Amino acid sequence: MPGRNPPRFEHDSHSMPTNVSSSLKGAYLGDLLGQPTALTDTIASLSSIPALPSRALSAERIVLTGMGASLHAVHPLRVSLVRSGRTAFVVETAELIHAQSALLDARTLVIAVSQSGRSAETVELLNIAGRKASRPFIIGVTNGADSPLAQRADARIVIRAGSEHSVSCKTYLSTLAALEWLGGMLCGEDTAPILAELRLAAPAVEAYYGDWQTKVDQLAVEFSNLRHLFLTGRGTSLAAVSTGAIILKESTRIQAEGMSTPEFRHGLFELISPGLYALVFAGEAAMAPLNESLVNDIRRMGGRAVLIGENTVPGPFRLPALPERLRPMAEMLPVQLLSLALAALAGHVPGNFERAAKVTVVL
């Protein structure tokens, strides 16, 4: 009824299953456990992609676009481009085609990211660009080798992550890897060292998931009595913040909200209570103290918060120690395991779509 508090996900510690991981099943879990193989295949394929033409490398501006997780995956690339002196915009594909299509001219390089390569917005972007006399150069990043994006883009990166049955996970990590490699090319870096670092990703993901059942059970206990769930971070961590909020909602049907760490301080303190939990990404070393201070403030005010990073206490929220460019991939791993735990507590099959679909076909 209107005016009532939103539902709590409360669990009696005496009746809570001690091993929620034993109840998990479904295609989503299979996709999660298949991420190391997907990353290996993606990274192996990158070295065979042809070099980009000078028109793409010297574009006056770069527009990074996608929908959902595909859109949020471009955040680390944008940070790299801006830091290298390039002019880069992040524009949701629906906004690009309906409100900002003036960007689609010959001065622009468009990096269009779409897991399927055939979503309604992506296809319309290709149609609009194709009708222009002065059209942008389009690089398509997709898992769909036979998709409209792969077939009609001026250049393509097919991530070859294999089939994905449920919520974006292995295609997301593989997209991050491909965009990191692409960013190096656009910033004039030698891509061989980038590929060498990217090859460290698959073993790290496999090691993190080696005790996934134990980690999921720990998270199930930690996240009892949950009312509000937030994810916050800065810089490249905004990719995990935004994508994490999406996959938590998709896979658990629990409301989760992602925002920057400073944005949380603009009014959200009023929600702090024992039922609030904030996942705060430590991020880059220079920003980590600022993010950790939010964790301390939330705890001081009676809420619950945890810092996700390489130097946290052992457990689900400690990230594998990896090169900086791989951190956005590692940051998604605790969120993925949390999605399993929360789905099990709520009695859902994690990642099982009931109303949505894997590919959106309506504008």
Q: Give every CB contact of residue 301 below 8 A, 6+ residues apart in sequence.
A: 269, 272
C-alpha span between 359 and 186 (Å, rounded)? 29
Using alpha carbons, list the distances in angstroms from residue 253 to 209, 250, 290, 345.
23, 6, 31, 11
C-alpha span between 291 and 232 (Å, rounded)? 8
Adjacent-strand bridge partners of 112 = 65, 140
Give me the mean pLDDT over the 95-116 stretch: 97
- Two domains, one topology: 20-24+204-346 and 47-199: yes
Residue corresponding to tokens 């919520």: 167
pLDDT band at 252 (very low <50, low <70, confident <90, very high): confident
Residue 11 has pLDDT above 80, yes or no: no
Q: Checking DSSP bridges between strand 256-260 and strand 228-233, what pairing results, if any?
A: parallel
The pLDDT value given to residue 9? 38
To the question of pTM greater than 0.85 for the whole model, the response is yes
Give me the mean pLDDT over the 15-28 stretch: 70
Phi (first) and psi of residue 65, to 5 degrees: -140, 155
Q: Which residue has the higher pLDDT, 17 or 289?
A: 289
Lowest-confidence region among 163-167, 208-212, 306-310: 163-167
Rg, Å, the chain Cα set? 20
pLDDT band at 224 (very low <50, low <70, confident <90, very high): confident
The pLDDT value given to residue 190? 95
Give the CATH architecture of domain 20-24+204-346: 3-Layer(aba) Sandwich (3.40)
The pLDDT value given to residue 356? 56
User: b/e for 211-250, b at 16 or more Cβ within 10 A?
Assistant: ebbebbbbbbebbeebbbbbbbbbbbbbbbbbbbbbbbbb
- The correct CATH number of 47-199 out of 3.30.420.40, 3.30.70.20, 3.40.50.10490, 3.40.630.30 is 3.40.50.10490
The pLDDT value given to residue 187? 95
The pLDDT value given to residue 340? 94
C-alpha span between 198 and 174 (Å, rounded)? 10
Residue corresponding to tokens 């965009």: 179
Give me the mean pLDDT over the 84-113 stretch: 97
pLDDT band at 351 (very low <50, low <70, confident <90, very high): low
Per-domain residue ranges for the chain?
Answer: 20-24+204-346, 47-199
Residue 8 has pLDDT above 90, yes or no: no
Average pLDDT, the chain: 91
C-alpha span between 155 and 133 (Å, rounded)? 19
The pLDDT value given to residue 358? 47
Lowest-confidence region among 1-15, 92-106, 250-264, 268-282: 1-15
The pLDDT value given to residue 3? 38
The pLDDT value given to residue 52? 95
Q: Which residue has the higher pLDDT, 303 or 225?
A: 303
C-alpha span between 103 and 201 (Å, rounded)? 35
Residue 262 has pLDDT above 90, yes or no: yes
The pLDDT value given to residue 181? 98
The pLDDT value given to residue 226? 86
Residue corresponding to tokens 């894997």: 358
Percent of the chain with pLDDT over 70: 91
For the segment 124-181, what is each residue's pLDDT rounded down to a tens digit? Answer: 999 999 999 999 999 999 999 999 999 999 999 999 999 998 889 999 999 999 999 9
Q: Which residue has the higher pLDDT, 12 or 82?
A: 82
The pLDDT value given to residue 251? 86
HSE, side-chain direction, 13 A CA sphere, residue 102: 2
